[in-house]
């Protein structure tokens, strides 16, 4: 999924870009409204994250231009403007959501996921394409094959089902019970040790050498696919 992040606060933009990249998104950044507008016009993005006040051209103007051209790319505003009139103005300009600074990173990630789901992007593309992509990992669901860093990764049926379940719920905590129920819906469920063994095998296949860790253990609870949660901005 491609995200364009436009904000002139480098101390905020760069950490946000790294966070979103670790969550599996392909992120491009711009620090002026002029550059942001050019990228938004020329590129094909699944989501735009725009600061309101920008040098050259405001985020509001960028959003209005895109909507006037009939473009429906979801827009999330990040701004210190917090009055009701400001929020109404932003939404009337065509924004899909509005997050007031300072904010918590968990809330930002949740809103990003919600906007991508709402627009029919993210993992739901698997319904028509049979493929899911998170970060540099791509899963071909129908053929039980994954691709990463130029490697072809052959998967067993259960490994493929588990990886698909993880990728469709990026960033969400999945408990042992949820995973068990998903993988063995109408079958006799094995012992709980099978889940840990299956995840260990999957990790060995999709996380080799210095490749970014994607499957994280939440001790005593389950697993989360993507980056670990960070502290608030």
CATH number of the domain that residue 161 is part of: 1.10.10.10
Tokens of 144: 């039980």
- For residue 162, give every residue at least 6 positions away whose Cβ sits within 8 Å of its Cβ, in sequence order, or none: 179, 183, 198, 199, 202
CA distance 43 to 29: 12
CATH at residue 62: 3.40.50.2300
In a domain, 230, yes or no: no
Is there a single domain that holds both residue 158 and residue 115? no
Is there a single domain that holds both residue 129 and residue 89? no
Domain boundary among 120, 144, 169: 120
Interior angle at CA 11, CA 10 and CA 13, nearest 5: 55
In a domain, 20, yes or no: yes
- Cβ atoms within 10 A of the Cβ of 41, count? 12
- For residue 117, give every residue at least 6 positions away whose Cβ sits within 8 Å of its Cβ, in sequence order, or none: 124
Tokens of 28: 């491009």
Is there a single domain that holds both residue 13 and residue 70? yes
Is there a single domain that holds both residue 205 and residue 132? yes
Q: How many domains does the chain have?
A: 2
CA distance 54 to 189: 55
pLDDT for 105: 83
Is there a single domain that holds both residue 105 and residue 31? yes
Q: What is the pLDDT along the chain (233 residues), one digit of tens a residue?
A: 789 999 988 888 888 888 888 877 888 999 999 999 999 988 778 899 999 889 989 888 999 988 888 888 899 988 887 677 777 777 777 888 888 888 888 888 888 888 887 665 444 444 445 788 887 788 888 889 999 888 899 999 999 999 999 988 887 888 888 999 889 877 777 776 899 999 999 999 999 988 888 999 988 889 988 754 433 33
Interior angle at CA 43, CA 37 and CA 49, nearest 5: 55
Domain boundary among 91, 120, 149: 120
Domain housing 102: 2-120
In a domain, 233, yes or no: no
Is there a single domain that holds both residue 146 and residue 218? yes
CA distance 104 to 147: 33
Is there a single domain that holds both residue 105 and residue 187? no
pLDDT for 82: 67
pTM of the shown model = 0.54
In a domain, 231, yes or no: no
In a domain, 204, yes or no: yes
Is there a single domain that holds both residue 48 and residue 112? yes
Contact (Cβ atoms closer than 8 angstroms) between residue 168 and residue 141: no
CA distance 194 to 80: 49
pLDDT for 158: 94
Tokens of 210: 């210095």
**Dihedral angle, C-alpha 37, 38, 42, 47, nearest 10 °:** -30
Tokens of 159: 């490994």
Is there a single domain that holds both residue 109 and residue 143? no
In a domain, 85, yes or no: yes
CA distance 82 to 145: 47
- Cβ atoms within 10 A of the Cβ of 131, count? 17
- Cβ atoms within 10 A of the Cβ of 63, count? 25
Euclidean distance between the first and the last CA atom of the chain, given in angstroms as a whole number: 23
Is there a single domain that holds both residue 133 and residue 166? yes
Domain boundary among 120, 154, 177: 120
Is there a single domain that holds both residue 146 and residue 199? yes
In a domain, 157, yes or no: yes
Is there a single domain that holds both residue 93 and residue 172? no
């Amino acid at each position: 999924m491609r995200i364009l992040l436009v904000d002139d606060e480098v101390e905020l933009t760069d950490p946000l870009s790294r966070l979103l990249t670790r969550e599996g998104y392909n992120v491009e950044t711009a620090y002026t409204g002029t550059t942001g507008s050019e990228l938004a016009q020329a590129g094909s993005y699944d989501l735009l994250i725009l600061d309101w006040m920008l040098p050259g051209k405001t985020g509001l103007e960028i959003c209005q231009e895109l909507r006037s051209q009939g473009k429906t790319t979801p827009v999330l505003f990040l701004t210190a403007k917090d009055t009701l009139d400001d929020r109404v103005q932003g939404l009337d300009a065509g924004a899909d959501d509005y997050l007031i600074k300072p904010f918590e990173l968990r809330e930002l990630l949740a809103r990003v996921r919600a906007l991508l789901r709402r627009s029919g992007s993210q993992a739901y593309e698997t319904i028509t394409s049979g493929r899911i992509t998170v970060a540099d990992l791509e899963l071909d669901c129908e053929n039980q094959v994954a691709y990463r860093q130029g490697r072809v990764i052959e998967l067993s049926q259960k490994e493929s089902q588990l990886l698909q379940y993880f990728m469709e719920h990026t960033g969400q905590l999945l408990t042992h019970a949820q995973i068990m129920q998903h993988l063995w819906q109408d079958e006799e469920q094995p012992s709980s040790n099978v889940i840990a063994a299956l995840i260990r095998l999957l990790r060995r296949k999709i996380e080799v050498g210095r490749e970014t860790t994607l499957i994280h253990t939440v001790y005593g609870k389950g697993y989360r696919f993507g980056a670990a949660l960070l502290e608030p901005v």
